[in-house]
Each structure stands twice: as structure tokens, then as C-alpha cells.
Structure 1
Amino acid sequence: MDTKPKTILVADDDKAILESITAILNLSGYEVLYVQDGTSVLQAIKAQPDLILLDIQMPGHDGSAVCRQLKRQASTKDIPVMFLSASMDVAHKAREAGADDYLEKPFDMSILQEKVFTLLNRMSL
């Protein structure tokens, strides 16, 4: 049985959000990598995270462009991506870019935990 903790890559340009998400996911037993721009996501993906939490509006490449690129590459297409955004049309943007789920900001951390758990378990079936 694999006891290695799941790795989650979090990308958001808001440091307070990154710190909050990292703290709650670490407490839940996940290993968290974080970056603050879309370009860094494309570099950090080499670590092959189990899940990516991706802000839509970031410096460099925006989350939609990053998600589309990840879903086109054979090595990353199966990694689930969840958008995090304050955008009113986050659901539309998530579907359009190929994201697996989304969460509107501001969000309840317990809902984030539930969605993360669901995505990680759905992908491991």
C-alpha cells in the first residue's frame, strides 16, 4: 500500500491565500508545493503533483492558458486541475479550459478540503 502523501501544486498570486491553503492542506496530510504565477506552474509541473489548484488571474500565463496547455500534454493531461477564482464566470472558464472542478473565492476551507479529497480519490480509481 502506498503511504506517500499526495502532492498538491497550488498556484495563486495572493500570498495570504497561498499561506491559508498550504496550512489547511498540510494539516490534512498533503504535501503542498506553491507558486505565484502561471509560468512557474509550467516549471513546477515536473514534480508530477497529484492535483493542481490554479488561480485564473495570475501574472505571466493566466490559469486558463496554463490549464489548456497541461491538458494537451500527454504527461500532464490526467492530473486533475481545480480553478480558484473570484471571477463571476469561473464555471464557464473552467469548462472552457478543461479544468476538472472549480471553487469561487472567497471559499470555505472545509469545502476546499472536500473537493480536494474527492478529486484525488476519483483520479486514483
Structure 2
Amino acid sequence: MKIIVIEDNPDISEIMDYILKDEGYEVISAEDGTITNSFDELKPDLVLMDELLPGKRGSEWCQHIKSTPSLRHIPVILVSTMPNLEQLAQKSGADGFLEKPFNISSLGALIREFAAKKNNF
């Protein structure tokens, strides 16, 4: 399973990368949402996206993904410290959300849930 982590904080990105690779996932990291322009070639199975990115917010990138026919099937999880993250996720069409700070088991469980959904299709 290929996961794209879009996170501008290098420490958080490194932690997520380590956790996910340790779980056996292929991980591609990016600092901003412009990587979404390469999704047709990269073919991610899941996207973990920070809300507070430079330039456009994660929820704006999520809306872009969900409004693009060739990309809308890709699950997107918004990750943030924002107090209204659940509402942002719903409004942007995200498939889920994860509040920061998160613990390793929460991240692992969320990813396994999406991996199980993917394997059921």
C-alpha cells in the first residue's frame, strides 16, 4: 500500500514516515500539496495531509482531489491541531481525520482501517 504524507513540519513528517515504513507501507513524503499534480502517476492508496500547509490549506487540496474524477477515489485523511478538524474534514470531502498530537497506535489503527477497506474492494 502506497501512502503519501503531505506535512510541512519535518519532525512530524519524519515520525510519520518512520511509523508507516515500520508497518510495511511504501511512503512518499511531500512538504506541500503540489504533489497532488503527480497523483495520476504516483497512484497513492491513501493520503495523510496536514491542514496547515504553506500556500493552500490541506482542506483546499482535499477539495481539489475530491473534485477531480481521476483522483476522487483516493482516500484523504486530514491531520491537524485545528479545533474544528472534524468539520473541516467533512466540508472538504476528506475520508477521515487525525488530531495532532496523535499517538502511534492511533495512526496505525487508522491506516489499518483504510488498508482493510482497500482490500475489500
One-letter code of the match for 2:43? Answer: Q
Q: How far has the Cα of 1:61 moved from its partner?
A: 2.0
Runs of at least 5 residues in structure 1 that lack an aligned partner in the other structure: 1-5
Q: How far has the Cα of 1:87 moved from its partner?
A: 0.2
Secondary structure of the equivalent of 2:56? Answer: coil
Give the structure 2 partner of residue 12 of structure 1: 7
TM-score relative to the length of structure 1: 0.91
Deviations 1:61-101 (A, max 9, x none): 21011100101111111111001000000000000000011
Are 1:68 and 2:99 matched, yes or no? no
Are 1:42 and 2:43 matched, yes or no? no
User: What is the rounded CA distance, in whole Å, between the counterparts of 2:52 and 2:118 in structure 1?
Assistant: 26
Give the structure 1 partner of residue 111 of structure 2: 116
Deviations 1:98-122 (A, max 9, x none): 0011010000011101001101221
- Aligned-pair identity in percent equals 34
Give the structure 1 partner of residue 84 of structure 2: 89
On the 8 A contact 1:80/1:123 being kept in 2, the answer is: no
- Of 106, 114, 118 in structure 1, the residue corresponding to residue 101 of structure 2 is 106
- Of 71, 75, 80 in structure 2, the residue corresponding to residue 80 of structure 1 is 75
TM-score relative to the length of structure 2: 0.94
| Structure 1 residue ranges (4+ consecutive) displaced by more than 4 angstroms after TM superposition | none
CA RMSD of aligned residues (A): 1.0
User: What is the rounded CA distance, in whole Å, between the counterparts of 2:57 and 2:78 in structure 1?
Assistant: 11
User: What is the rounded CA distance, in whole Å, between the counterparts of 2:103 and 2:63 in structure 1?
Assistant: 27
One-letter code of the match for 2:36? Answer: L
